[in-house]
């Protein structure tokens, strides 16, 4: 399929005020969505947003475009992305839209789209939408214009759903938890859920003002949470990102646990309970330590391209349920159709309660291997000869590392770079291997640039 103009690996994203994150484009996008949905019936679309100040502007623009196409918009206000996926399918909407740029700063915003079943759009539907965006905009008859409604019970519906994912009642009485809400979508729901389950909750970054989302807080800036967990003598810390689909946790010693370690905890417990369906899907960036730890437990493991939509594709292809990314996108199809930080968090804490183990003890079976990465700039387009040369280099250097190491060469999706990464047991060796490989990659690229 040809490269799409607007859609990336997770919807449409950009700086507000610049194409495509402008109100005129959002009107056109809303209208284009209407063209795809309208098949002889009046369609209903759910719209949520995170706490960015630009959400007001983009929400009203989308609403206008949908109305022009004769589509009714249902607005829920600030809410986590996975809640939009859940509500879209549980309330039988024709589509769901989330306005968010996830972990990016407030100047950015984006559009994430879900089909009626709560899954992100596939490539074919994104391509159809792009074609519709370029069509001249028309309007339905005035009597057929779309209306806008407010969904007042959206948060309570989603909160109840999160609690229902627990296989049995869980009391978190006696647990002290620090929650970093990233001044984002989970600023209200995150603390409330854990308080309702009985925990003693201490909150951070839970006063969004439209501008402070992800600002030195949340899953991409967990240093403050690590310090606070120690200062409060808490049992653990939880960090969300701006739209509530990423989760990072901190144990009682202040040590950070990323998505790979949390995936290990969830997978091992599911296997012990007899509820693990098949195996686990990670990505090309997943730490080799997870793959080795799962192998010791005879749990199958597959890698997908980077991006939670590709994790989902692999899960569906193998009829598995559990997968995720190092960044904290954790997906279990038994719970949700997309990565859900809030559900993953209560599942991990429920395991702590059930096993009477600390977060550190639950994760000790996985040893993260050191990784080192160097970005090599490329001045030429990738072609068959370069790709073959890169593949040969991977084979050559993997032979040097053996079974306890891994090499990854990955073109950046946003910059003219080749990401050169190695991982293994010894950091000194890994650094040396990465530096040598980066030089060979650079030489390969320079050779082809002058041909």
Asked whether residue 158 is domain-assigned, the answer is no
Of 326, 292, 324, residue with least CA distance to 335: 324
What's the whole-number mean pLDDT along residues 181-196? Answer: 98
pLDDT average, residue stretch 79-107 = 97
CATH code of residue 60: 3.40.120.10
Distance CA 230, CA 253 (A): 6
CA distance 66 to 45: 8
For residue 38, pLDDT over 80 is answered with no
pLDDT at 53 over 80: yes
Is the pLDDT score of 398 beyond 60? yes
Question: How high is the pLDDT of residue 403?
Answer: 76
Q: Domain range spanning residue 421?
A: 371-449
Per-residue pLDDT of 421-445, as tens digits, reads 999 989 999 999 999 999 999 999 9
Look at residue 129 and tell me if it is in a domain.
yes
Nearest to residue 65, comparing CAs of 127, 124, 148, 2?
Answer: 148
Within 8 A by CB and 6+ apart from 380, the residues are 386, 445, 448, 449
Lowest mean pLDDT among 222-226, 266-270, 372-376: 372-376
The whole-angstrom separation of Cα 60 and Cα 75 is: 10
User: Considering 119, 151, 183, which residue would you say is the last residue of a domain?
Assistant: 151
Question: 378: domain CATH number?
Answer: 3.30.310.50
- Looking at residue 51, its pLDDT comes to 98
**For residue 413, what pLDDT band results from cuts at 50, 70 and 90?**
low
pLDDT digits (tens, 9 = 90+) for 303-347: 999 888 899 999 999 999 999 999 999 999 999 999 999 999 999
Residue 388 inside a domain? The answer is yes
Residue-level pLDDT at 228: 98
Has residue 347 been placed in a domain? Answer: yes
263-277 confidence digits (pLDDT tens) = 999 999 999 999 999
- pLDDT (0 to 100) of residue 1: 38
When pLDDT is cut at 50, 70 and 90, the band that residue 287 belongs to is very high
Alpha-carbon distance 191 to 207, whole Å? 12
Q: Are residues 17 and 125 in the same domain?
A: yes
Residue 157 within a domain: no
Give the DSSP per-residue string, 191-235: HHHHHHTT-EEEEES----SS-TTTT-STT-THHHHHHHHHTT-S
User: Rounded mean pLDDT of the chain?
Assistant: 94
Structural contact between residues 283 and 290, judged by C-beta atoms closer than 8 angstroms: no
Distance CA 146, CA 327 (A): 39
Judge if 136 and 215 occupy the same domain.
no
For residues 191-210, give the mean pLDDT: 98
Q: Are residues 140 and 237 in the same domain?
A: no
Q: What's the pLDDT score for residue 416? A: 82
Clarify whether residues 227 and 309 are in a common domain.
yes
In a domain, 5, yes or no: no
Is 60 exceeded by the pLDDT of residue 2? no
Q: Are residues 351 and 445 in the same domain?
A: no
Average pLDDT over residues 386-411: 88
Same domain? For 62 and 187 the reply is no
188 lies in the same domain as 328:
yes
First to last CA, the chain: 28
What angle, 0 to 180 degrees and rounded to 10, lies between the N-to-C axes of helices 189-196 and 341-355?
A: 30
Residue where one domain finishes, among candidates 337, 363, 389:
363
Same domain, 212 and 343: yes
Whether 340 is in a domain gets the answer yes
Tokens 């990670």 belong to 282
Among candidate residues 328, 440, 445, the one with its CA nearest the CA of residue 381: 445
Residues 218, 211: Cα–Cα separation, whole Å: 14
Spatial neighbors of 378 by CB under 8 A, at least 6 apart, are 411, 416, 417, 418, 445, 449
Q: In the predicted model, is pLDDT for residue 8 greater than 90?
A: no
**Domain end point (choices 103, 126, 151):** 151
Q: What is the pTM (predicted TM-score) of this model?
A: 0.91
The answer to whether residues 236 and 215 belong to one domain is yes
Q: Cite the active site residues.
A: 102
One domain for residues 289 and 355: yes
Query: Can you state the percent helix, strand and coil of the chain, rounding each to 5?
Result: 40, 20, 40
Q: How far is CA 320 from CA 84, 100, 269, 385, 412, in A?
A: 23, 28, 16, 36, 28
What is the DSSP-derived secondary structure letter of residue 104? Answer: S
**Total domain count for the chain?**
3
Mean pLDDT (whole number) for 35-56: 92
CA 322 to chain centre: 14
Model pLDDT for residues 112-168, shown as the tens digit of each residue: 999 999 999 988 899 999 999 999 999 999 999 999 999 999 999 999 999 999 989
CA dihedral 72, 77, 80, 86 (to 10 degrees): -30
- Whether residue 3 is contained in a domain is answered as no
Spatial CB neighbours of 196, under 8 Å, sequence gap ≥ 6: 159, 163
Length of the chain: 451
Residues 204, 69 share a domain: no
Number of Cβ within 10 Å of residue 259's Cβ equals: 28
pLDDT of the residue at 451: 64
Residue 304 φ then ψ, to 5°: -115, 175
Q: Which strand (E) or helix (H) includes residue 93? A: none
Under 8 Å between Cβ of 97 and 113: yes
Q: Any idea which residue has 């998505």 for tokens?
A: 259
Least confident of 9-13, 66-70, 164-168, 264-268: 9-13
Shared domain for 80 and 195, answered yes or no, is no
Specify the pairing of strand 236-240 against strand 247-250: antiparallel
């Amino acid at each position: 399929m040809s490269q799409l103009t607007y859609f990336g690996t997770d919807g449409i994203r950009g700086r507000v005020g610049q194409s495509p994150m402008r109100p005129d484009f959002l009107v056109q996008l809303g209208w284009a969505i209407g063209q795809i949905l309208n098949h002889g019936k009046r369609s209903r679309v759910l719209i949520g947003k995170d706490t960015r100040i630009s959400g007001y502007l983009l929400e009203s623009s989308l609403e206008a475009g949908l109305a022009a196409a004769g589509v009714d918009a249902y607005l829920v206000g600030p809410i986590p992305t996975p809640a939009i996926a859940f509500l879209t399918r549980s309330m039988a909407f024709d589509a769901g839209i989330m306005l968010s740029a996830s972990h990016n700063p407030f100047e950015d915003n984006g559009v994430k789209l879900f089909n009626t079943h709560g899954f992100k759009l596939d490539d074919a539907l994104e391509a159809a939408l792009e074609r519709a965006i370029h069509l001249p905009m028309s309007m339905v008859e005035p009597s057929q214009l779309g209306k806008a409604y407010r969904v007042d019970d959206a948060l309570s519906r989603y909160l109840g759903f999160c609690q229902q994912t627990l296989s049995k009642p869980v009391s978190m009485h006696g647990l002290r938890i620090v929650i970093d809400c990233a001044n984002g979508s989970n600023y209200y729901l995150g603390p409330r859920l854990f308080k309702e389950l009985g925990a003693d909750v201490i909150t951070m970054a839970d006063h969004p003002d439209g501008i402070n989302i992800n600002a030195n807080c949340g899953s991409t800036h967990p240093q403050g949470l690590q310090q606070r967990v120690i200062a409060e003598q808490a049992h653990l810390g939880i960090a969300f990102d701006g739209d509530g689909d990423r989760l990072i946790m901190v144990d009682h010693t202040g040590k950070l646990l990323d998505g790979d370690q949390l995936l290990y905890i969830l997978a091992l417990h599911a296997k012990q309970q007899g509820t693990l369906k098949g195996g686990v899907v990670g990505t090309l960036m997943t730490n080799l330590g997870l793959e080795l730890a799962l192998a010791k437990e005879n749990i199958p493991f597959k890698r997908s391209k980077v991006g939670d939509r590709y994790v989902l594709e692999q899960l569906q292809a193998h009829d598995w349920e559990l997968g995720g990314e190092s960044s904290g996108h954790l997906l279990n199809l038994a719970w949700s159709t997309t990565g859900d930080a809030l559900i993953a968090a209560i599942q991990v804490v429920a395991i702590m309660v059930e096993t009477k183990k600390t977060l550190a003890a639950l994760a000790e079976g996985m040893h993260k291997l050191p990784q080192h990465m160097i970005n090599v700039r490329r001045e030429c387009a990738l072609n068959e000869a370069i790709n073959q040369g890169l593949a040969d280099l991977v084979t050559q250097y993997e032979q040097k590392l053996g079974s306890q190491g891994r090499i990854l060469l990955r073109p950046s999706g946003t910059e003219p770079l080749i990401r050169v990464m190695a991982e293994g047991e010894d950091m000194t060796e890994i650094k040396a291997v990465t530096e040598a490989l980066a030089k060979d990659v650079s030489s390969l690229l320079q050779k082809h640039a002058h041909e």
